[in-house]
Amino acid sequence: METDTTHTVSPFHPGEISIQTRLGVRERMEAIGRQVIRASMPEQHRQFFPQLPFVVVASLDAQGQPWASMLVGPPGFLQSPDPAHLRITAQPCFGDPLNQNLAEGAAIGLLGIELHTRRRNRMNGTVERRDPDGWSVRVLESFGNCPKYIQQRDTVLTEGLAHIAAPKPVARSDRLDARAQAIVAVADTLFIATSYQAGDRRKPDDGGGASADRAGADVSHRGGKPGFVRIDDERTLSFPDFVGNYLFNTLGNLLLDPRAGLLFIDFSNGDVLYLSGRVEIIWDGAELSRYAGAQRVLRFHVLQSIRVDGALPLRWSAPQQSPVLDATGPWQE
């Protein structure tokens, strides 16, 4: 394990610190965090990103609302010229909110995830430069994640890449229409974008402690058995939060700012569903017992829905379920 000696204060902000304290892992995670959360990309991450045909992206719109997106390109469209930068030679898909959110100085979160190996690495930073061929990100944080809950799939890039910006059918709403609900109902994977703003310095519990004065966007993966996301109604979704790495990056962000973006993909045809909304964290009670293995439940209240048909020039094989999901069950009605 490489050690980043740049941390003179905690790599965690007050939201993350509060949850770690609440769950009794604060001291242990502080020591681990100072080792694994780096201010630059280690060599293995710099070699990993160029292998990928897609990367998941978190961005913020003009109101600070997070959105989760996906960028696609032939392997090599992601390159790290040095440990402090990642160069991205790709433009967003048609209809993707990322088209409006990309600007020099903008906060950005990246998740490199290789489904067939269940490997993933996260990098958060700022857009340093944008040009007609792509854009560059200045690294602020770089860290790996475990392979838990990732469904194993092979990925194929299609000829549609040449037409990624061409107009496609788009459905916009303030709720989930029947097609959007159909995508969610069978999903075994979602991506969640959140953010932390530098002004969120309040300490919601007794976590306390000095922490890095950082801000930015972040995106994470969530997986479960098909149907692990429950459709409560046309404006509300619920999904379990399983035991993870105890960093609590996503939950820590949500504790301070409940706004989030969800990304769902139809792995059979490349349809994409982008959702923006607010998250309510359910910590205990009867709701948790309705899904075996849940540590918490996240309830997502939809504010905007954007569905783009055939947006992604990617196709995937049938999934091989993550073995850790054997210990989880379906929603109990």
pLDDT at residue 262, as a whole number: 99
91 phi/psi in degrees, rounded to 5? -120, 155
Query: CA-CA distances (angstroms) from residue 98 to 48, 79, 161, 271?
Result: 23, 20, 17, 16
Q: What is the pLDDT of residues 67-79, one digit of tens each?
A: 999 999 999 999 9
Structural domain count, the chain: 1
Q: Residue 136 domain-assigned?
A: yes
pLDDT interval class at 333 (50, 70, 90) = low
Q: Can you give the three-state secondary structure of the chain, one letter per residue?
A: CCCCCCCCCECCCHHHHHHHHHCCCHHHHHHHHHHHCECCCCHHHHHHHHHCCEEEEEEECCCCCEEEEEEECCCCCEEEEECCEEEECCCCCCCCCHHHHCCCCCEEEEEEEECCCCEEEEEEEEEEEEECCEEEEEEEEEEEECCCCCCECCEEECHHHHHCCCCCCEEEECCCCHHHHHHHHCCCEEEEEEEECCCCCCCCCCCCCCECCCCEEEEEEEECCCCCCEEEECCEEEEEECCCCCCCHHHHHHHHCCEEEEEEECCCCCCEEEEEEEEEEECCCHHHHCCCCCCEEEEEEEEEEEEECCCCCEEECCCECCHHHHHCCCCCC
pLDDT at residue 214, as a whole number: 52
pLDDT at residue 21, as a whole number: 97
pLDDT at residue 200, as a whole number: 44
pLDDT at residue 18, as a whole number: 96
Q: Residue 3 domain-assigned?
A: no
Q: What is the pLDDT of residues 257-305, one digit of tens each?
A: 999 999 999 999 999 999 999 999 999 999 999 999 999 999 999 999 9
Which whole number is the average pLDDT over 40-60?
97
> Which amino acid, one-letter code, is at 299?
R
Which whole number is the average pLDDT over 218-244?
97
Q: Which range marks the domain in which residue 161 is found? A: 14-317
Q: Residue 24 domain-assigned?
A: yes
pLDDT at residue 169, as a whole number: 97
Contacts of 235 (CB under 8 A, 6+ apart): 174, 175, 176, 301, 302
In this structure, what CATH number is given to the domain that contains residue 252?
A: 2.30.110.10
Of 102, 120, 101, 104, nearest to 112 (Cα)?
120
> Which amino acid, one-letter code, is at 322?
S
Q: Residue 148 domain-assigned?
A: yes
Is 294:288 a contact under the CB 8 Å cutoff?
yes
Q: Residue 263 domain-assigned?
A: yes
Q: Residue 269 domain-assigned?
A: yes
Q: What is the pLDDT of residues 304-327, one digit of tens each?
A: 999 999 999 999 999 999 999 999
pLDDT at residue 141, as a whole number: 94
pLDDT interval class at 204 (50, 70, 90) = very low
Q: Residue 190 domain-assigned?
A: yes
Res 160 pLDDT > 60: yes
**What are the tokens at 149?**
């809950």
pLDDT at residue 203, as a whole number: 39
Q: Residue 332 domain-assigned?
A: no
pLDDT at residue 4, as a whole number: 43
End-to-end CA distance of the chain: 44
Which whole number is the average pLDDT over 200-215?
42
pLDDT interval class at 9 (50, 70, 90) = confident
pLDDT at residue 7, as a whole number: 55
Which whole number is the average pLDDT over 157-165?
95
Are β-strands 216-223 and 189-196 bridged in parallel, bridged antiparallel, or unpaired? Answer: antiparallel
Burial (CB count within 10 angstroms: exposed 0-12, middle 13-18, buried 19+), residue 103: exposed
Considering the chain, what is the average pLDDT of its residues? 92
Is 302:236 a contact under the CB 8 Å cutoff?
yes
Res 230 pLDDT > 80: yes
Count of C-beta atoms within a 10 Å radius of residue 130? 16
**What are the tokens at 191?**
């991506």
